[in-house]
């Protein structure tokens, strides 16, 4: 009985130590960035989603449709606000690209959320991926869906505000 308890305790301790090591490893990485002007493909693990992988049903998530009334500057501002409100930290920014990180509360695992604005297609492409490990219990898909909802809601409010201003100006 004592030996079994000792073995179980050692196994649990080793597992927790492994989680801490993986969490530390995740903090030292960085987002893959753009490859030939597109977001990087997801690895074969289920802890990644990407809107630019249409033929990969496991990893595909629909991109954000940019409303015709929303400017590029508005889109970037809305996306940055949504990321911050969701607890993300912006890491890199260019004309058509944003990279941010999210950390888990328990062990501090770092996930990357990348965004590419495709103005010719009038969409925002998303890639959300864990830096280490195999499974994420759907966290990256949920995060991406939350970003899509927050952006869409904010863009809709902006559209309502623009419509109200237009009506006031016309009177």
Strands 123-130 and 64-65: antiparallel
87 three-class SS: coil
Exposed/middle/buried for 169, CB within 10 Å: 0-12, 13-18, 19+? exposed
Residues whose CB falls within 8 Å of the CB of residue 91, separated by 6 or more in sequence, listed in order: 30, 31, 99, 100, 101
Cut 0.75: pTM above it: yes
61-91 pLDDT tens trace: 999 999 877 777 788 999 999 999 999 999 9
> Across the chain, what does the average pLDDT equal?
84
DSSP-derived secondary structure for 127-144: EEEESSSS--TTHHHHHH
What average pLDDT does the segment 34-46 reach? 94
Q: What percentage of the chain reaches a pLDDT higher than 90?
A: 52
Instruction: Name the nearest CA neighbour of 134 among 11, 13, 18, 12.
Output: 18
Residue 141 has pLDDT above 80, yes or no: yes
Q: With bands split at pLDDT 50, 70 and 90, how would you rate the model's confidence at 29? A: confident
């Amino acid at each position: 009985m004592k030996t079994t308890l000792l073995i179980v305790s050692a196994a649990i301790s080793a597992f927790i130590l492994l989680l801490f090591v993986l969490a530390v490893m995740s903090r030292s990485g960085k987002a893959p960035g753009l490859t030939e002007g597109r977001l990087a493909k997801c690895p074969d693990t289920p802890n990644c989603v990407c809107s630019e992988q249409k033929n990969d049903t496991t990893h595909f998530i629909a991109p954000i449709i940019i409303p015709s009334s929303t400017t590029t500057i508005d889109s970037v501002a809305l996306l940055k606000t949504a990321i911050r409100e969701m607890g993300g930290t912006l890491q890199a920014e260019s004309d058509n690209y944003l990279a941010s990180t999210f950390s888990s509360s328990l062990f501090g695992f770092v996930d990357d959320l990348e965004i590419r604005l495709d103005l010719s297609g009038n969409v925002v492409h998303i890639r959300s991926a864990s830096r280490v490990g195999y499974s994420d219990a759907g966290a990256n898909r949920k995060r991406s869906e939350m970003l899509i909802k927050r952006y869409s809601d904010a863009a809709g409010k902006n559209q309502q505000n623009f419509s109200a201003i237009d009506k006031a100006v016309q009177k």
